[in-house]
Amino acid sequence: MKDILYAPWRDEYINDKEIKGCVFCHISQHAGEDEELHVLYRDESCFIVMNRYPYTPGHFMIIPHLHTDKLELLPSEAWLHVSDLAQKCVRLLKEGFGADGVNIGMNLGIAGGAGIAEHIHMHLVPRWSRDTNFMTSIAQNRVYSTDFIRVYKKIKDLIPSYIS
């Protein structure tokens, strides 16, 4: 007998409109769709968006508007701004969202593990002392313990208190 894992939230992925070209450039260029695209914050240099398929609740990314796959070509001012936002977001995740820790990472290039290799982005993944369990080890699955939209709204409501 085959076990079935129901995942109704994946229906959106299957039936959603396909974005042509770079998904991050699409998000960058469509500020009027921030709610639909789950953008948490944007300014003239960067935007912060929820990871659509998060590793843990609250996993989001900081992304420069500039389309590049090479961190080494990102202007220093943009990199410093990404770093400044990362510091503020770590504080938000720990103080406002209740995370015990945060993983920060960038996967540069396909060989570096980037799912979207054509546009650099920094992941911030909130972590809790007991957020891992046997599912990852024996079933190659992660358990997402809460509603994605609820998490998006909570973090979006926290943004003005941590990013000015």
Give the pairing type, strands 122-127 and 60-64: antiparallel
Whether residue 51 is annotated as binding a ligand: the answer is yes
Beta carbons within 10 angstroms of residue 140's beta carbon: 7
Report the run of H or E that residue 49 belongs to, with start and end.
strand 46-50
The answer to whether residue 121 is catalytic is yes
The angle subtended at Cα 44 by Cα 76 and Cα 36, nearest 5°, is 125
d(CA 99, CA 132): 14
Whether residue 123 is annotated as binding a ligand: the answer is yes
Annotated binding site for substrate: 51, 123
Catalytic residue IDs: 121
